[in-house]
Structures are given as structure tokens and as C-alpha cells.
């Protein structure tokens, strides 16, 4: 792996999570801390794992079951730790950029009207998604990165980072919805914003995998990334997981309401088993 530009050593320290230690350095996002922070784990170079995550107080800190933000962040950190290096760009864009009050109003509107979150935002006069990844892109450039493995299900995010000049390989993040509301939210993101929801996390969501816009990671790139993993056991677990999301099984016959969000679902159990071995 090519080593990126020297990191600001004055913030480098040990970071321990799930019993595993990694070095982290902290940098303010380009534009200032009001936009967010960059956490640089290990010594990332080109082809490293990158998660660009917008703040969600409910999901990230309070571990709400109502959205997939917490599990997405958790899984991204699992993979970065397993790889031994990577970057988390944490952006202050609560409520898809509209703020926490807007998010709360949106939840209330959805409860009263039965609408999805994007419709609720529009009804309340908020843009459905006001987030921007411009500051994240310029921050990543300052790290000396040119090509990244982007941990995301969001095609808009991938497009914006790619148009900023990066070679982007998308690695979708499969997460298990923690509630019926979270499952509905995933479905709304898939349907309204064309998010790539891996079939192992959302078996009701097959059609976007056929889309021309779907960027599957070229096998060579993933292989190079996986070679960077030092522990063969972890390498095996991550390869199995990436293979699962890169070559999804088509399930056109399933409707959203026909798939129970339940720990009895064998697919979920399989995904959980693989993810739990990543850091084992
Ligand atoms: Zn959330």
C-alpha cells in the first residue's frame, strides 16, 4: 500500500474498539470543525477504505433502532479496523443536512401522515437531502489520496467524490435493520434515492443491482485491497462478505412486506456470522 502524505503527528494516539487497538489521527475537515472531522486510522494510502458519514445523533450516539446510521458506522469501523488502515470523515450534517429539529419534525410528520421520510421533508419545505461531500473530498485530497474504496450505499455520494477527481470503488455496506421503521427507511432510500442496498441486508431490494449506475468493485481492486489485510483469518471473512455484496442474488419475486425483519431470517444470520468474525 502506498503511504499517503505525512499525518499531523500531534494528534496521533492509540484507539481501542471491540478489544482491538489501532492508531488514529484527527484532522479538521477542510473548511473548519463546523463541517466535521477526519479520523485517519493506521497509515492509509491509495485503495484504502473510506467512510464518509453524516452525523446522526439518534443512530450514532443514542443507538436508535429507527435508522441504519449506527449499524452502518459500526460496520465501516469494523472493516477499517480489520484492514488495519482507513479514513472516517465525520460530517456535521445532521438530519440529511437540515438539522435535528428538521429530522424530528420529519419523524412526527411521517407518524401522523404515514409518509416516508423524503416525502415528509418535502411537505415541510426541507430539501429531501441537503448534504454535500465537497469538504470531505477536499479533505481526502489533502491526505494525498487519489483512489479509494468508498464504504457507502449512496450513489450521490459516490458520484460527488468521483467528480472531485477520485477513482472510487464502491463497497456497499450491508446492515441489518433493527426495526420495521428502519426497514421502511432503507426501502425509502432505495426507492427514492436509488441507494444500493445489498440484498443480504435487504432481500426486498434487488432491482438497483441491475442498474447501469451500479458500480461493482472490479475484482482486481478488491483483491489488492484484501491483500493489504495482514491476518489471513480476517482476510477470509472480509472476502466472503465483499463477495456477498458484489455479486448479489436476484430476488425479484419478493415484495417489501413479504420479508420479515427477524433474527429467524437465515440470510441475516449468515451476514451476522460473517461480520462477527471480521474482528474475531
Ligand atoms: Zn440515522
Q: What pLDDT is recorded for position 198? A: 54
Across the chain, what does the average pLDDT equal?
75
CA distance 252 to 261: 18
CB neighbour burial string for 209-226, b if at least 16 within 10 angstroms, e if fewer: beeeeebbbeeeebebbe
DSSP letter (8 states) at residue 143? T
CA distance 39 to 23: 10
CA 51–ligand 1 middle distance (angstroms): 15
CA 35–ligand 1 middle distance (angstroms): 18
For residue 260, how many other CB atoms are within 10 A of its CB? 11
* Domain-located, residue 207: yes
Helix or strand (DSSP H, E) at 273: helix 266-278
Q: Tell me: do 126 and 255 sit in the same domain.
A: no
CA 59–ligand 1 middle distance (angstroms): 5
Asked which of 80, 113, 130 is the last residue of a domain, the reply is 130
CA distance 98 to 121: 9
Q: For residues 86 and 194, which has the higher predicted lDDT (pLDDT)?
A: 86
Q: For residues 231 and 123, which has the higher predicted lDDT (pLDDT)?
A: 123
* Domain-located, residue 1: no
SS3 assignment for 42-56: CCCCCCEEEEEEECC
| pTM for this predicted structure | 0.71
CA 135–ligand 1 middle distance (angstroms): 21
Q: Tell me: do 75 and 14 sit in the same domain.
A: yes
Whether residue 256 is predicted with pLDDT greater than 90 in this model: the reply is no
Q: Tell me: do 186 and 263 sit in the same domain.
A: yes
Q: Tell me: do 240 and 255 sit in the same domain.
A: yes
CA 86–ligand 1 middle distance (angstroms): 22
Q: What pLDDT is recorded for position 7? A: 54
Q: Tell me: do 118 and 171 sit in the same domain.
A: no
Q: What pLDDT is recorded for position 129? A: 87
Whether residue 280 is predicted with pLDDT greater than 60 in this model: the reply is no
Whether residue 150 is predicted with pLDDT greater than 50 in this model: the reply is yes
Q: What pLDDT is recorded for position 2? A: 52
Copy the grid coordinates of residue 35.
463541517
Q: Tell me: do 149 and 266 sit in the same domain.
A: yes
CA 55–ligand 1 middle distance (angstroms): 8
Q: What is the mean pLDDT of residues 264-272?
A: 33
CA 131–ligand 1 middle distance (angstroms): 14
Portion of the chain with pLDDT greater than 70, in percent: 66
CB neighbour burial string for 153-168, b if at least 16 within 10 angstroms, e if fewer: bbbebbebbbeeebeb
Report how far apart, in Å, the C-alpha atoms of 239 and of each of 179, 203, 209, 228, 273 are. Answer: 28, 20, 19, 12, 13
Catalytic residue IDs: 129, 131
Whether residue 242 is predicted with pLDDT greater than 90 in this model: the reply is no
Highest mean pLDDT among 158-162, 255-259, 267-271: 158-162
* Domain-located, residue 20: yes
* Domain-located, residue 199: yes
Q: What pLDDT is recorded for position 185? A: 77
Q: Tell me: do 79 and 105 sit in the same domain.
A: no
Whether residue 171 is predicted with pLDDT greater than 80 in this model: the reply is yes
**CA nearest 127: which of 104, 155, 99?**
99
Q: For residues 129 and 53, which has the higher predicted lDDT (pLDDT)?
A: 53
* Domain-located, residue 213: yes
* Domain-located, residue 29: yes
Residue 171 has phi, psi (to 5 degrees) of: -115, 100
Asked which of 102, 130, 158 is the last residue of a domain, the reply is 130
Q: Tell me: do 113 and 51 sit in the same domain.
A: no
Q: Tell me: do 52 and 98 sit in the same domain.
A: no
* Domain-located, residue 4: no
DSSP β-ladder status, 167-171 and 147-151 = parallel
Residue 49 has phi, psi (to 5 degrees) of: -75, 135
Q: What pLDDT is recorded for position 170? A: 86
- Region of poorest pLDDT, from 9-23, 149-163, 206-220: 206-220
Whether residue 210 is predicted with pLDDT greater than 70 in this model: the reply is no
Q: Tell me: do 99 and 202 sit in the same domain.
A: no
Q: How many domains does the chain have?
A: 2
Q: Tell me: do 114 and 217 sit in the same domain.
A: no
- Region of poorest pLDDT, from 52-56, 159-163, 191-195, 253-257: 253-257
Q: Tell me: do 198 and 155 sit in the same domain.
A: yes
Q: What is the mean pLDDT of residues 168-189?
A: 80
Whether residue 48 is predicted with pLDDT greater than 80 in this model: the reply is yes
Give residue 191's pLDDT band: very low, low, confident or very high (50, 70, 90). Answer: confident
* Domain-located, residue 2: no
CATH code of 187's domain: 3.40.50.10990
In angstroms, the first-to-last Cα distance of the chain is: 24
Give residue 1's pLDDT band: very low, low, confident or very high (50, 70, 90). Answer: low
The cell 453524516 sits on which residue? Answer: 54
Range(s) of the domain holding residue 102: 94-130
Q: What is the mean pLDDT of residues 61-90?
A: 93
Q: Torsion angle of alpha carbons 138, 129, 53, 256, nearest 10°? A: -140
Amino acid at each position: 500500500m502506498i503511504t499517503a502524505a505525512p499525518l499531523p503527528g500531534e494528534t496521533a494516539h492509540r484507539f481501542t474498539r471491540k478489544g482491538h487497538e489501532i492508531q488514529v489521527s484527527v484532522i479538521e475537515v477542510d473548511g473548519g470543525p463546523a463541517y466535521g472531522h477526519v479520523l485517519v486510522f493506521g497509515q492509509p494510502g491509495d485503495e484504502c477504505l473510506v467512510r464518509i458519514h453524516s452525523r446522526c445523533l439518534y443512530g450514532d450516539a443514542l443507538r436508535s433502532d429507527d435508522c441504519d446510521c449506527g449499524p452502518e458506522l459500526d460496520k465501516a469501523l469494523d472493516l477499517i479496523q480489520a484492514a488495519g488502515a482507513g479514513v472516517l470523515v465525520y460530517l456535521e450534517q445532521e438530519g440529511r443536512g437540515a438539522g435535528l429539529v428538521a429530522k424530528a419534525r420529519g419523524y412526527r410528520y411521517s407518524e401522523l401522515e404515514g409518509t416516508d421520510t423524503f416525502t415528509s421533508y418535502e411537505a415541510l419545505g426541507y430539501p429531501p437531502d441537503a448534504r454535500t461531500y465537497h469538504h470531505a473530498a477536499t479533505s481526502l485530497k489533502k491526505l494525498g489520496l487519489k483512489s479509494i474504496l468508498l464504504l457507502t450505499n449512496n450513489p450521490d455520494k459516490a458520484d460527488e467524490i468521483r467528480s472531485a477527481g477520485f477513482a472510487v470503488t464502491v463497497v456497499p455496506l450491508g446492515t441489518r435493520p433493527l426495526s420495521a421503521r428502519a426497514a421502511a427507511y432503507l426501502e425509502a432510500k432505495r426507492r427514492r434515492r436509488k441507494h444500493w442496498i445489498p440484498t443480504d441486508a435487504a432481500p426486498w431490494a434487488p432491482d438497483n443491482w441491475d442498474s447501469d449506475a451500479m458500480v461493482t468493485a472490479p475484482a482486481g481492486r478488491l483483491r489488492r485491497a484484501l491483500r493489504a489485510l495482514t491476518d489471513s483469518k480476517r482476510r477470509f471473512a472480509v472476502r466472503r462478505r465483499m463477495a456477498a455484496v458484489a455479486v448479489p442474488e436476484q430476488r425479484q419475486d419478493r415484495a417489501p412486506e413479504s420479508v420479515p425483519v427477524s433474527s429467524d431470517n437465515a440470510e441475516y444470520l449468515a451476514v451476522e456470522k460473517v461480520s462477527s468474525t471480521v474482528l474475531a
